[in-house]
C-alpha cells in the first residue's frame, strides 16, 4: 500500500500518467463526453465528480506552463460555474476555450481520457504535462 496518494489515483491511472511525456495531454471528462468512442482505453471513474478527479490528478501531474488547461466553450455569454471550479482545481490562473468540435479533435490526440461520473454539462478539461522539476 502507498501512503499520501489520493485514493482516486488507482495503479492503472498512475501508470498511464507516468508514461506520458512533456506536452502530452489528457482529458478529464464528464459523463456526457463520448470518451470510449474517442479512446477505447479510456479509464472509467463512475460516481466521481470531475473537480475531485482534476484536483487528484494535479497533485501528481505537473502542468505545462506554456499550455494552460483547455475547457470546452459552451457558447453561453457566461461561463458555466464548473469552469471556475475546474480551473481552481488545477491551480492555474489561465485557461483556453475551444469550441465543441475542435475539442473533440483535440481529445482524439490525447494520451489518456479519464471518464468521470460528473453530470454537469461542459465539465471537461484538457491538461498538458509539464516537467516535474525546474530547469538549471
Per-residue pLDDT of the chain (136 residues; tens, 9 = 90+): 678 999 999 999 999 999 999 999 999 999 999 999 999 999 999 999 999 999 999 999 999 999 999 999 999 999 999 999 999 999 999 999 999 999 999 999 999 999 999 999 999 999 999 998 765 5
Indicate which residue of 22, 36, 41, 83 is catalytic.
22
Residue written as cell 470546452?
72
41 is catalytic: no
Closest among 52, 84, 47 to 69, alpha carbons compared: 84
Query: pLDDT at position 74, please?
Result: 94
Query: pLDDT at position 135, please?
Result: 57
Query: pLDDT at position 113, please?
Result: 98
d(CA 92, CA 65): 9
Query: pLDDT at position 49, please?
Result: 97
Amino acid at each position: 500500500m502507498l501512503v499520501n496518494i489520493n485514493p482516486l489515483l488507482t495503479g492503472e491511472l498512475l501508470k498511464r500518467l507516468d508514461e506520458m511525456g512533456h506536452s502530452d495531454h489528457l482529458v478529464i471528462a464528464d459523463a456526457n463526453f463520448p470518451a470510449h468512442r474517442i479512446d477505447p482505453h479510456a479509464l472509467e471513474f463512475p460516481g466521481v465528480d470531475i473537480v475531485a478527479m482534476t484536483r487528484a490528478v494535479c497533485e501528481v501531474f505537473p502542468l505545462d506552463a506554456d499550455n494552460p488547461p483547455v475547457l470546452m466553450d459552451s457558447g453561453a455569454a457566461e461561463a458555466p460555474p464548473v469552469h471556475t471550479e475546474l480551473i481552481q482545481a488545477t491551480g492555474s490562473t489561465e485557461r483556453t476555450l475551444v469550441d465543441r468540435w475542435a475539442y473533440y479533435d483535440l481529445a482524439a490526440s490525447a494520451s489518456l481520457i479519464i471518464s468521470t461520473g460528473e453530470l454537469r454539462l461542459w465539465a471537461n478539461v484538457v491538461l498538458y504535462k509539464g516537467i516535474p522539476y525546474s530547469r538549471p
